[in-house]
Amino acid sequence: MRPSHQLKGLESIAPLVRSVEETPEPIATEVCGTIPTWIRGSLLRNGPGKFEFGNQHYNHWFDGMAMLHQFKIEDGKVTYRSRFLQSDAYKKNSERNRIMVSEFGTVAMPDPCKNFFLRFLSRFEMIEATDNASVSFVKYKGDCFVSTETNYMYRVDPESLETQNKVDWTKFIAVNMATAHPHTEPDGTTYNMGNSYGRKGALYNIIKVPPMKNNPEETLEGAKVLCSIVPADKARPSYYHSFAMSENYVVFIEQPIKMDLMKIVTAKLRGKGISEGVYWDPKQDTVFHLVDKHTGQVRVKFHTKALSVFHQINAYEEDGFLMLDMCCSDNGEAINNYLIQNLRKSGEALDQVYNTMYRAFPRRFVLPLNVTNDTPTGVNLNTRPASSATSFKTAKDKVVCQFEDLHGEDLYEYGGLEFPQINYSKFNTRPYRYFYGCGFRHLVGDSLLKIDLEGKKVKVWYQKGLFPSEPVFVPSPDAVEEDDGVILSVVVTPTEDKSTFLLVLNAKTWEELGRAEVPVNIPYGFHGTFNPTA
């Protein structure tokens, strides 16, 4: 973040973090402009849709109850439906009309109906992992799941959005959680990461899930741990939201957002949310661990300065280097700033929250793959002529790197870039030219950006008062070039009631093709995916 880009007079976005009703039966939308008839399938979106039960409310944006959204596109028409995920957390809370299950930033207080002794005892229980899978839609073995960052996922029907079965990673594999951002190979093999906590302290685990089912009932059968990595500090492992993958490597980014396990274990006793145990330690390096997908072996460790990362853009190998592209910030306190009370502020208080937060910017690290005992120290190992990134070997198995920016000066004006997306099916793990994301001149995305890596030029879609969600790229059926296709984004506005719309942009020209207006309120959500009609 640059001090010169302080903003004043931000409009209130409180209506975008308010509870809404579900719309379980599909409703028609009004299409303005044109939606290409070749788009056949559904944009599925996930995010929080209920922020209180009775007179108890959640503290953190990540805590709201998962609401699943479907924009079904066929023959140039769009229908919309939404459902709350029927998680155990949602059911228990609804039954008692109070918060019964603790979330990331909210601790469920002991039931006042219990006697004093039982209330006292319940303080000593561990906070149970929530099954409120509100982050993303993901696929394993061809099935659709919704996921969060605990050990629980739900299989859902992408057509009706009905909740099917609950799936517990711990029943299949020795991990206590998994991220909501797996990576998938063209054959359907899926990689993920999850922590395990045992007698020997915490471990980071890289997980591999096979592509095929042996019978229709299967979920995660056959999953295995490819490799376990020991944290720099076993009592304070790093928090991670995702990881990167190239053709031959999984890249785990151990960042200085730390989880104090003692604080987390005692959170309920102290009446605090798990979030109280998550903190930023800028004195620590960020470390990239490269794991060979074929052997599970960990390569040389790459170090860089303290950075925080939520989402990677892409990673690929070329000429003996691994290009690691991601959205990073120079400060990792953002996770604790997304309290609902901050998102609902207005006036100067809102400006102050925004102006004290650091922005995320797209950056590239160039990691040399053939570092050996004979590799000289003190020489920049990045020999790619067009790249300003550096890599210096400093010890036997340590290389220190410095990134290059994947953007020009103009991106500072748009508040940086987050929620990055690419033409994933064709260009994930491969050299690529374009990526898309949201610009952040507010606490949530307020513009849609396209960056061309040739020249680092940016194209912008922005309309005052409108807040677009993560852009999802859908390739056109006869695509020749990387950006042949459309961008889908759900756009919400805090100033008008029931005026949400699905925006369709031409990904090449960045011009609006059409929009489908939905007469309902939708809160600002997290992640989505396009599910083509079979």
Annotated binding site for Fe cation: 181, 241, 311, 527
- Quote the mean pLDDT of the chain: 95
Token representation of residue 256: 């200085």
Q: Which pLDDT score is estimated for 120?
A: 65
**pLDDT confidence tier of residue 122, bands split at 50, 70 and 90:** low
How much is the average pLDDT of 113-119?
68
Give 303-324 pLDDT, tens digit per residue. 999 999 999 999 999 999 999 9
Q: Answer yes or no: is pLDDT of 66 > 50.
A: yes
Annotated binding site: 181, 241, 311, 527
Q: Answer yes or no: is pLDDT of 50 > 50.
A: yes
Contact status, residue 94 vs residue 22, Cβ threshold 8 Å: no
Contact status, residue 48 vs residue 57, Cβ threshold 8 Å: no
Give 418-464 pLDDT, tens digit per residue. 999 999 999 999 999 999 999 999 999 999 999 999 999 999 999 99
Q: Which pLDDT score is estimated for 382?
A: 97
Q: Answer yes or no: is pLDDT of 299 > 90.
A: no
**pLDDT confidence tier of residue 1, bands split at 50, 70 and 90:** very low
> Over pLDDT 70: what percentage of the chain?
97
Q: Which pLDDT score is estimated for 303?
A: 98
Q: Which pLDDT score is estimated for 334?
A: 87
Token representation of residue 379: 């020489």
CB atoms inside a 10 Å sphere around CB 116: 8
- Comparing 64-78, 267-281, 347-361, which segment has the lowest mean pLDDT? 267-281
CB atoms inside a 10 Å sphere around CB 340: 22
Pairing of strands 298-304, 398-402: parallel
More confident residue, 87 or 4: 87
Q: Which pLDDT score is estimated for 324?
A: 98
More confident residue, 23 or 335: 23
Query: How far is it, in rounded angstroms, from Cα 496 to Cα 284?
Result: 45
Rounded to two decimals, the pTM is: 0.96
Please choose, from the candidates 505, 419, 508, 422, the residue with its C-alpha nearest in 3D space to the C-alpha of residue 470: 419
Q: Which pLDDT score is estimated for 2?
A: 45
Contact status, residue 78 vs residue 516, Cβ threshold 8 Å: yes
Q: Answer yes or no: is pLDDT of 3 > 50.
A: no
Q: Answer yes or no: is pLDDT of 387 > 60.
A: yes
| Phi, psi dihedral angles at 299 (to 5 degrees) | -90, -165
**pLDDT confidence tier of residue 4, bands split at 50, 70 and 90:** very low
How much is the average pLDDT of 126-141?
93
Q: Which pLDDT score is estimated for 352?
A: 95
Q: Which pLDDT score is estimated for 270?
A: 87
Q: Which pLDDT score is estimated for 356?
A: 93
